[in-house]
Amino acid sequence: MSDPAATATVAYQAILQLVQGVEPRIAEAITAELHDQRHSLKLIASENYASLPALLGMGTWLSDKYAEGTIGHRFYAGCQNIDTVESVAAEHARALFGAEYAYVQPHSGIDANLVAYWAILSHFVETPALKTLGAKTVNDLDQADWDKLRHDLGNQRLMGMSLDAGGHLTHGFRHNISGKMFDQRSYGTDPLTGLIDYEAIRKQALEFSPLILVAGYSAYPRRIDFAKMREIADEAGAVLMVDMSHFAGLVAGKVFTGDENPVPFAQVVTTTTHKSLRGPRGGMVLATSEFADDVDRGCPMVLGGPLGHMMAGKAIALAEARQPSFQTYAQQVADNAKALADGLLKRGATLVTGGTDNHIVLLDVAGSFGLTGRQAEGALLDSGIVTNRNSIPHDPNGAWYTSGIRLGTPALTTRGFSADDMDRVAELIVQALRATTPTTTSQGTPGKAKYTIGDGVADATKAAADELLGHHPLYPGLEL
């Protein structure tokens, strides 16, 4: 019983047995998910595998306590243990990122961004205007109401990266609250190189004068110069907010240092905790002391009661990320992305920006294989490779079918994949996509959704992927 994996096996068996007695379908789904995670080549750039300690920290009675408020100032009695959990998580977050202030309550990345937006607004703007919200539900607000609300708030302006260029929904997209509550403009990337064009952003920011300049992305395969972004924000009189949801693990692991580390340059930094940072599903806000009180208004302004069990998971994952081994991991994530990109390039594929220097590779499947993202995503899934389709800049196939596939290395690197393994992954991807052809429509043109894969290729690729996965077991020793 001294082997931790063996102990965890026994613990999980006991838990699953209890669940089985109540709702067997859920016990089955839990086991099936572990099986699926183990047997798929997971290249989804936003996913990872949390450690057993982080997972077990979540499955506890810390979930059963209400603790609205902040550490030491709760609206409920008896919050001493949640105080401990939240303080420890915040202490690790501050130390790990060198941040003046850390707020670990947000339940997700979107929540973290809402907390951050509200913090910045309330720092600068009087808020009686929000009373107009009390009159109706938010769903009843028409464009004129939104315009009035924005006007009363001082018609605050937000500038972020466009979805199309790799930005996130929460950076001002029109179907997200960020696009409704702000007068919003987005910046793209250079049409020729696919790279961020700082001069163009500077020019746009000076013309538009946003209150908030957002930097950060979900699908951009390059690093950002945050010193330059801060310079632009200062010149335009904006607050620099960086959403490092995707690359927090590379910041934590000291791969992004100097001007590539957002924390010394942004007044407010938001992140998820479950992507490259490899923790439980959740969010976090880091801020300079100037914004600490504003960020603390997250609950109850935007968030309900904090999730004590999730904050425990965050504390454990953040403690893990402070170990030297996490720096080795983060460097390997970047090295593996480079190896994957090189492996694709040398087999003739086209990549957005021509390569990568973070954890993301954006494969142009239209240019490389004459497929839509939807077809490539499907063909890869049939071949045991899990990815997601993604728009590429100026995407000819639109946001639904897309022309790209986003690939990321945080998950496979957690399993111990090396640069050589990533070259083999590139080979399998190219093998599967070369054998895929779009199904012709009744008009005789290539369709956007359906495809066929050459005889036996999907099965052969799947078998090869499974063999590769067999060399790097997920949760070794955990026998479920």
Provide the 8-state DSSP code for 81: H
Count of CA atoms in the C-beta half-sphere (13 A) of 227: 5
Nearer to ligand PLP, 108 or 122 (CB): 108
Name the residue whose CB lies closest to ligand PLP.
109
Tell me, what amino acid is at 333? V
Least Å distance between CB 463 and ligand PLP? 32
86, 243, 260, 421: which is the annotated catalytic residue? 243
User: Nearer to ligand PLP by C-beta: 58 or 465?
Assistant: 58
Q: What is the closest distance, in whole angstroms, from the C-beta atom of residue 314 to ligand PLP in the complex?
A: 13
275 counts as catalytic: yes
CB-facing half-sphere around the CA of 239: CA atoms within 13 A: 23
Half-sphere exposure of 326 (CA within 13 A, CB side): 21
Nearer to ligand PLP, 49 or 369 (CB): 49
Which one from 148, 281, 347, 434 is the annotated catalytic residue? Answer: 281
Measured distance CA(277)–CA(244) in Å, rounded: 10
- The annotation status of 168 as a binding-site residue, yes or no, is yes
Kindly write down the DSSP assignment for every residue of 211-269, as one continuous string. Answer: SEEEEE-SS--S---HHHHHHHHHHHT-EEEEE-TTTHHHHHTTSS-GGG-STTT-SEE
- Rounded-to-integer distance, Cα 243 and Cα 262, Å: 9
Calpha distance 223→478 (Å, rounded): 36
Nearest approach, Cβ of 281 to ligand PLP (angstroms)?
7
As measured in angstroms, the least distance from the Cβ of 46 to ligand PLP is 5
207 noted as active-site residue = no
Any binding-site annotation on 304? no
Closer residue to ligand PLP, CB minimum distance, 272 or 402: 272
Smallest gap from Cβ 167 to ligand PLP, in A, equals 7
* Closest among 469, 393, 429 to 161, alpha carbons compared: 393
Residue 471 among known ligand-binding residues = no
In the bound state with ligand PLP, the residue whose beta carbon lies nearer, of 119 and 371, is 119
Which residues of the chain form contacts with ligand PLP (CB under 6 A)? 46, 108-110, 113, 168, 170, 216, 218, 243, 245-246, 272, 283
**CA 435 from centroid of its chain's CA atoms:** 31
68 is catalytic: yes
Q: Is 428 marked within a binding site?
A: no
Among residues 405, 470, 400, the alpha carbon closest in space to that of 432 is found at: 405
Nearest to 255 by CA among 179, 174, 336: 336
Q: Examine the residue annotation and report whether 66 is marked as an active-site residue of this protein.
A: yes
Residues at the binding site for (6S)-5,6,7,8-tetrahydrofolate are 163, 167-169, 290
Residues with a catalytic annotation lie at 66, 68, 243, 272, 275, 281
